[in-house]
Structure 1
C-alpha cells in the first residue's frame, strides 16, 4: 500500500514511524519545494544560479536566451527545498561578482526574517497574530455600500461595538468617510464630527477593546489616537496625505498600509495591470521603505492588497488565489472582502445583502492561507467559520498522542 501524506502532517507521521527527534528538523528542510522568483538578474548570474541549483538537486527556470547571452537580464524561478537554498547561499557567498552576493543576501533575509506575531498599540493594548483575527466594520456614514453597516449616531455605534465584541471581534474598525467606488469625500471637519465622538464613546464603554480608525487624513488620525484609538487603517497607503506617517511614527501605532490605484472617485474607471501581484508587491516594497525612513516601526506595518480598490473582477480573484505570495514580505496581511461586488458578480449579480455565503467562503480560504486579519461586516458568522477551521488546523499540528 502507498499513501501520499499531506505536508502539514509530515511531522506527525515521522513521530508515528519513530524517527529520531534530532532527524526531524533535517527531514523538514527537504519536505517541500519552495518556488521563489528573482527579478532582473544579469544573464551571467542567471546561468551560474541555474547550474548551481542543478548541481544541488534543485532547478531554475530562466529566459530561453540566457544560455547564449541574447538577453541582458532575466527573471528566475527557483525550485528547491530549504536544504537546496541553504546550499545555494553557501555557494553564492563565495562569488563576489555579477551581483551574486546581493542575491545571496536577499535569500538569507527571506529565510531568516521572522514575521510579526504581536501588535501593540500606543496605549499598551495588544493583539496576537497566532491565528486569523476578525476586524468588525463600524461605518459612521450615511452612504457606505452596504446599508446594514451604517450607524447614524453615537448610540448606534456603541450598540454595534457591544454586539461585535460579544460575537468575538478582535478589532473594531471605525470609519467616518465612505470609500466605495465613485464616492465623493466629505471634508475633514465633517469626518471628525462623525469619528471622534464615536471613538470616545466606544473607548469609554469598552476600555479593553482594540480600536482601529479607517482614515487617510493625518489630522483625523492624530485626534483619533489621542482619544484612545489603537491603530490606523489607511486605504491610500499614505498617497493622499503623507503626513499620516509622521503621526503614526510619533504615536508608535500599528498602521495598515493598503494598495490602491487612483482614488475612490475614479479607481474603478478601467483599472489595468500587466501583472497585478508583481505591481502590488513592488508598491509595498517602496511604500514600506518610505514609511520606515519616516520613522514608522517596521514591526507595526500591516499590508492590505486592497480588494476592490482599483481592481478588475479578475484582479480580485487572482490576488485572493495568490495571497501566500504576499506573505513573502513577512508582514501581517489584512484582507477586506466582505460583501464586495466581485462576490456579487461571481454569484450571479446579487446585491450586498445576499453576499454573506460568498464572504464566508473567502474567509475560509483566507484562514487556510494564513491571512492574519479579515475585515468584515458580520462578526458572528465569520468568527464561527474561523473557529471551525482553527480546530481542524490544530489537529494537523497536534502530536500523535494528543490526536488519539
Structure 2
C-alpha cells in the first residue's frame, strides 16, 4: 500500500481535503484548533485550580514552580489545549465564585468565544469594516515630520491624496503636528490652520475615510465637523481632557495609542520589564474608561511602535502582536520607515527603509493586524493582497 504523511500547521484548513461532512466542521474546529492563553498575575491558589481543571479537560497549564506550595503570591498561567478544552475550563471556573476564578472564566470566554469587533459605525452612517486588512495612508501637513517625503504643501495635497486613492488606500490620516522623538508641540491655532483645510480638501474631492491625527480636542472637533470620521490620538485621550466630550458628541472611531511620556521626552531612557504586558494593562484601563461613557465599540488600539520604546521593545511588540487581538478590538500598527527598522538594517535613513517596512507589514497581516499605517500605499497593499491570496484566513 502506498501512502504519505505530511505534518500540517492548520488542521481545520485540511478538513475539506479529508471529505468530512460540512456540518461537522465546527465540531472539529473546536477539537482541532489548539490555543494557548497567557493569564497575567493570577493568585497562586487560583492558578493551581486552573492547572487542575485544564488537566481534567485533557489539556495542561504551566504555572510558577513554587505555586503548588504557595511560596509565591501570584504567577502567570500559560494554558495549553484545544478550544473545546478551554470551553470546559470556562464552564467549570464559572461555577467557582471565589479566588477570582469566575472573573477569570469570564475573561477567557470574552477572549476566545465572544464576537470580535468586525465593523465600527461612523458619524456619516458609513461603516469601517475589518473583513480585510486596511491601508491607512499618512499625510503630514507639517514642515518637520521625520520622513520628508510624507510632508506635503497645501498646493500638492490633492495630488498626493489622488495618488493614494488610485493606489487603493482605505483611510487617509491627516496630521498637523509632528510627534517624532524630540518634537516640540504646535499651538492649537497653527494646527487648526494646517489640518482643517486639508480635511476639507480631501473630503470635497475623494470618497475615502479620513482620520485626523491629533490629541487636541478642538482640532479633532473641527476636523470632524469638516468630514473626518476617525480620531487618531497618540495620547489615548490623556493629553486633553476635553477630547472625551468631543468623542461623546460626534461618536467617531477612535485610535488609542500607547506612549510612554510625550513626544519631546519619550525616548529618554524608556524601560519596561515586559513591554507587551504593560501595554496590554494600559489598554485594559483605557478600554474601561470608554466603556463607562458608552464608546467601547468605537475603539481601535495601536501599541505605539517607536513611542517611548527601545529597539528591543519595538521588536517584542511586533513579535507578539497577535496578543493584542485578545482585547477584542481592531489593532493598528504604524511602523512605516521608523527608526527601529533603520537600526536593524544597519542604521539606514528613512529613505532606505521601505523593504524593511514591507517585511513588518507582512508579519503583522499574517498575525491578524487590522490596519497598517504607512507612507507607501501601493507597495504595502501589494504585500497585503499576496498574503491574503496565499492565506485567505490569515486574519
The two structures share one fold, judged by TM-score above 0.5: yes
Closer, same or farther: CA 396–157 of 1 in aligned 2, 3 Å:
closer
Matched, 1:348 2:346: yes
Partner-residue secondary structure (3-state), 2:391? helix
Closer, same or farther: CA 3–234 of 1 in aligned 2, 3 Å:
same
Instruction: Give the equivalent residue in structure 2 for 1:310.
Output: 308
Instruction: Give the equivalent residue in structure 1 for 2:362.
Output: 364
The count of aligned residue pairs is 392
For 2:368 and 2:100, the matched residues in 1 are separated by 33
Instruction: Give the equivalent residue in structure 2 for 1:401.
Output: none
Instruction: Give the equivalent residue in structure 2 for 1:259.
Output: 258
**TM value normalised by structure 1:** 0.94
State whether residues 126 and 210 of structure 1, in contact with CA within 8 Å, keep that contact through their aligned partners in structure 2.
no
Instruction: Give the equivalent residue in structure 1 for 2:29.
Output: 28
For 1:340 and 1:125, the matched residues in 2 are separated by 32
Deviation at 1:12, TM superposition (A): 4.4
Partner-residue secondary structure (3-state), 1:40? strand
For 1:73 and 1:190, the matched residues in 2 are separated by 50
260-269 or 238-247, larger mean C-alpha shift: 238-247
Instruction: Give the equivalent residue in structure 1 for 2:118.
Output: 117
State whether residues 338 and 376 of structure 1, in contact with CA within 8 Å, keep that contact through their aligned partners in structure 2.
yes
Deviation at 1:111, TM superposition (A): 2.3
Structure 1, gaps ≥5 residues long: 398-404
State whether residues 125 and 230 of structure 1, in contact with CA within 8 Å, keep that contact through their aligned partners in structure 2.
no
Matched, 1:179 2:182: no
Instruction: Give the equivalent residue in structure 1 for 2:391.
Output: 393
**TM value normalised by structure 2:** 0.96
Deviation at 1:64, TM superposition (A): 1.4
Matched, 1:329 2:332: no
Instruction: Give the equivalent residue in structure 2 for 1:4.
Output: 7
Instruction: Give the equivalent residue in structure 2 for 1:147.
Output: 148
TM superposition outliers: structure 1 runs of 4+ over 6 Å:
none
Closer, same or farther: CA 258–64 of 1 in aligned 2, 3 Å:
same
C-alpha RMSD of matched pairs (Å): 1.6
For 1:17 and 1:32, the matched residues in 2 are separated by 16
Instruction: Give the equivalent residue in structure 2 for 1:77.
Output: 78
Matched, 1:191 2:191: yes
Q: Which has the higher contact order (CA 8 A, sep 6+)?
A: 1
For 1:98 and 1:125, the matched residues in 2 are separated by 44
**Per-residue deviation, residues 272-311 of structure 1 (Å, max 9, x unmatched):** 000000000000000111122234x212100000000000
What pairs up with 1:288-303 in 2 under 5 angstroms? 288-295=287-294, 297-303=295-301
Deviation at 1:395, TM superposition (A): 8.6
